[in-house]
Amino acid sequence: MNWLITGGTGTFGKAFSRYLLENCRPNKVVCFSRDELKQSEMQNLPEYQQPAMRWFLGDVRDKDRLLRAFRDIDVVVHAAALKQVPACEYNVLEAVQTNIVGSRNVVEASIDCGVGRALLISSDKACQALNAYGKTKAVAESIFTQGNAYSSLDGTKLSCVRYGNVAGSRGSVIHVFREQAASGKLTITDSRMTRFWITPAQAVRFVISALEQMVGGEIFVPRLPSVKITDLAEAVAPDCQHEIIGLRAGEKLHEVLITPEEVLRTIDRGRTYIIKPYYQSFERSGLCGKRPSFEQYSSDSNSEWLSVGDIRRELGEK
């Protein structure tokens, strides 16, 4: 099978490519990204020095480049995005060009090139969107789910996965805490803050599961534990003082993965929630299951929580 990952040099892209190479015996894994330095650095890592790996410089804003890259591709995982909340808030038009126009280009190129399945990596920020990043991701979700209307019943299937911040990913607060630990003081925006918890390995496995289940039009949401930001700080840098600095521009106090309105069209599959599309004609086969018991899937009202010790074990901390 031939795979392509947009944003292939990011935290998720690298982990996903490594998983495919180690577990799926792919014919081809294409790393599509716009940063030649990151591609060069990735190519020098032993785990990616395999015949199946391919390297394709390009930007999702460039549809012609996508059309060339998507030839003979079976599965596209669209992870490319501008995702730093403050940067997107200040550079809104750039966020629109990458996250919205880029997603449209990926959908159209997937359909035009006969890609079998295309999956968008979305974000909790798309849910009840507060900031520019979340708003552009919400539109990207609609582009993917609604894109099935342009694909024939036996054509390209388009779906999304939606989860929270990936622990330890580039820009993660974990890196900030580790850097600040030497000073003995950590900056925390709000001590009440909570977040869902997912590691890169867990995110990869969830995406693989979604690709296996998707019929087109769904948004897949994993069942995740929550963490308190103060517990995360204690796990990463114990015995440090906490300085409260206030929420950043566009930052949420808690993460939401399924809104009350979305719950009405969500089915519970145990460790996975599936949000059905608005228009049932987009579904190629019926999705059935029980409705979740919660009214909203939010990190502050979650039934599962990680303790400080749990977080340390997840991070491999002593």
Q: Is 52 exposed, middle or buried (0-12, 13-18, 19+ CB in 10 A)?
A: middle
Question: d(Cα 138, Cα 158) in Å, to the nearest integer?
Answer: 15
Q: Which two tokens mark 214?
A: 């998707």
Q: Choosing from 125, 135, 137, 228, which is the catalytic residue?
A: 125
Neighbours of 257 (CB within 10 A): 26
Name beta bridge partners: 242: 186
Q: Which two tokens mark 2?
A: 């031939």
User: Inter-axis angle of helices 11-23 and 200-213, to 10 degrees?
Assistant: 60
How many angstroms separate the Cα of 105 from the Cα of each of 70, 120, 151, 162?
Answer: 11, 12, 14, 20
Residues 217, 120: contact at Cβ < 8 Å? no
Neighbours of 68 (CB within 10 A): 13
Residue 318 catalytic? no
Of the candidates 156, 281, 297, which has an alpha carbon nearest to the alpha carbon of residue 214?
A: 156
Radius of gyration of the chain (CA): 19
Lay out the sheet containing 157-161: strands in order across: 53-57, 28-33, 2-6, 75-78, 117-121, 157-161, 219-222, 272-275, 266-268
Of the candidates 267, 268, 162, 257, which has an alpha carbon nearest to the alpha carbon of residue 219?
A: 162
Please list the active-site residues: 125
